[in-house]
Chain A
């Protein structure tokens, strides 16, 4: 059977999210322990609750993103095993039993990854604390070795992976036994079937969320409670974006693809990025979520800081130090959320690598018809950059919008007007750099493999 290596990305993603959770809970425990050491007014309990809730929010985002990534990884595994599944179906296996086997493999991968992540996360916290104590940054206390929340978290990660694997194996049901006999290459599948329900939910969520966001700005002009409406509006509209990504992302992908130029390599690469709309949307949506949230926090922090600066300059003729603190807090939030983008990046790299390997015959055809090795490489790079640029552009646009609304819904009443969004240049440069690095990393292995193919061998594959 085509091996366990298929599930390596699933293990990695589960490990990343459980290590993140274990680490965050661990850091919370350490911070609370230091405060509790000389706790006079019992503030350590309140602190523990607040930090745990904040950590839980970031962990939930990471676990959600890793779930999306795993759905995609498993769907790619299914696509790669179509022939094998069809053959077992031909010999009498039911589709349901094939699906259960794959989902069980997903559960095992999730369990292994989750426990691995707990070990790594706990190790990092213990090691980091020891170092900080040695360096004199933390008092020498008896810190807890492992957060009591770590194991339930590992269970949640494994469960999420299982559910994601189950969703990702839906395609198994569509594999007909006769596919084992077909000489045809991978189908040029338009995976998006008519799903009016999904489209309707997406449109309603986005519309309702947008209304709430506008309302947040209107209320925000009067008082700071606009922020609460803004948070609800943000969650509702972004849920709509995530649900409706499969309808919107392909359009952006085509637009970005068209920008890459009209050369044969650019065109084929861009077309490859859009040929499986559902898979491409899932590959990019994790990264869109990550970039959106990072941008939201940083733009909100910067815009708010600028508004406070303008306000205090007008009132006192000087700048209050509070804006620096705020920017730092938002920066920390941005980094914590950015971790989800890292998980999403793993998914993107995997999707591209496996996708290219599954298209061996196609690259063989291109080579036979006269694609040079460098054109093959350029094709893969074009496909990778179409995906990363799309994710980054969508995330930036959404994040700037959300960050701007967030800052204004909170502080426009103090200023008496809406302030324009402040987008730090380093954010844009940083995000562009991430996209570039990701494109290179994601296309490194598949581009080399595709270019090294001998046309005769590839055509026979």
Chain B
């Protein structure tokens, strides 16, 4: 039992049940007077095992927030943690290793290494570390591959797969090394609605089974309705933090926010 009872600036995120956390995040592009503020004082924690949707209209800063939380971009000011480690101020090498070992990614498109087959793409996070999955990890990968329906596709190249299949491979890769946190950037943006629903269901159930957290950036209320929590951004600030909901409820909330703006 740790002797840390007061929540202060130095509280480590795991004490709060968080796998990732940002405080007072500011990101500006360019220099004054023409500078653009993408994030304007955002503080947010992603809870363990939770599926969080980050929503907002175009230009609201949701992608920038994801990029900074995932260590792909650096904030102008503010602090960022992944797990208990503060990544603000990490050098490129440390950030690279953090992404490699502790974070999974599913992008809207162009998710897979085109020259590697499906199996090699899924094992890619291990290969980056110069190792092969051990028996337990192989069993876990087999399980994911089975539940995502990819077992008979392992020798296929990405170009031989449909968009939905490619996203499923990306999900398998993101879950394979059991990172605490998976970032998904509009993962259904390029899919038809039925395939999109299926991908989201798989993402949600895979994460809840393995206790991994998911932070998904989207502007689609239907996609967000799969989440346990919906955080809404507008003009670089968090304007709502909802405990999930149906697509209709989320749409209504979004429209109200738009109307207020």
Contact = CB atoms under 8 A, between A and B. Distances in A.
Contact of A185 (B73, B93, B105, B114): B114
Nearest to B174: A369
B158 interface: yes
Nearest to B111: A365
Nearest to B108: A183
A427 to B, nearest CB: 34
Nearest to B70: A368
Given A268-B115, A367-B96, A369-B125, A456 B110 contact: no
A275 interface: yes
Given A263-B130, A264-B127, A372 B110 contact: no
State the main secondary structure of chain A at its contact with B.
Answer: helix
A373 interface: yes
B109 A362 contact: no
Nearest to A359: B114
Contacts of A267: 116, 120, 127
Contacts of A372: 92-93, 96-97
Contacts of B16: none
A395 interface: no
Interface residues of A, number: 30
A361 B112 CA distance: 11
A431 B158 CA distance: 38
Contacts of B239: none
A454 B73 CA distance: 8
A154 to B, nearest CB: 42
A376 B73 CA distance: 18
Q: Most B CB atoms within 10 A — which of A271, A361, A366?
A: A271
Interface string B83-122: 0000000001100110111000101111101111000100
Contact of B115 (A271, A375, A454): A271
A273 to B, nearest CB: 9
B197 interface: no
Interface string A93-123: 0000000000000000000000000000000
A185 B100 contact: no
B159 interface: yes
A272 interface: yes
Contact of A370 (B73, B96, B107, B110): B96
Nearest to A374: B93
A370 B115 contact: no
A448 to B, nearest CB: 15
A188 B73 contact: no
B97 A370 contact: yes
A455 interface: yes
Contacts of A365: 107, 110-111, 113
Nearest to A271: B115
B110 A264 contact: no
A185 B72 CA distance: 20
B114 A362 contact: yes
A268 B116 contact: yes
Interface string A420-461: 000000000000000000000000000000000011100100
A135 interface: no
Given A366-B113, A368-B72, A370-B99, A456 B67 contact: yes
B109 A185 contact: yes
Q: Most B CB atoms within 10 A — which of A186, A272, A368, A372?
A: A368
Contact of B128 (A186, A272, A275, A369): A369
Interface in A263-285: 263-264, 267-268, 271-272, 274-275
> Is the interface on chain B under 10, 10 to 19, 20 to 34, or 35 or more residues?
20 to 34
Nearest to A275: B115
B153 interface: no
Given A264-B128, A268-B115, A370-B128, A184 B109 contact: yes
B48 interface: no
Contacts of B72: 368, 455-456, 459
Contacts of A185: 109-110, 114
A247 interface: no
A188 B111 contact: no
B190 A183 contact: yes
Interface in A338-376: 361-362, 365-373, 375
A274 B115 CA distance: 9
A241 B128 CA distance: 38
B115 A369 contact: no
Nearest to A373: B92
A370 B93 CA distance: 9
Nearest to A460: B63
Q: Most B CB atoms within 10 A — which of A184, A264, A274, A362?
A: A264
Contacts of A40: none
A76 to B, nearest CB: 17
B92 A368 contact: no
A191 B127 CA distance: 28
A187 interface: yes
Interface in A305-358: none
Contacts of B67: 456
Contacts of A263: 127, 130
B81 interface: no
Contacts of B99: 368-370
A192 to B, nearest CB: 15
A361 B110 contact: yes
B211 to A, nearest CB: 21
Nearest to B98: A370
Q: Which 4 A-B pairs have the closest CB atoms?
A: A370-B100, A271-B115, A188-B114, A188-B159
Interface of B: 67, 70, 72-73, 92-93, 96-97, 99-101, 105, 107-111, 113-116, 120, 124-125, 127-128, 130, 157-159, 190
Given A370-B96, A370-B100, 8 more contacts: A188-B158, A275-B115, A362-B114, A366-B113, A368-B70, A368-B99, A368-B107, A372-B93
30 contacts: A183-B108, A184-B110, A185-B109, A188-B115, A188-B157, A188-B159, A264-B127, A267-B116, A267-B120, A267-B127, A268-B113, A271-B115, A274-B115, A362-B110, A365-B110, A365-B111, A365-B113, A368-B70, A369-B100, A370-B96, A370-B125, A371-B96, A371-B128, A372-B93, A373-B93, A375-B128, A454-B73, A455-B72, A456-B72, A459-B107
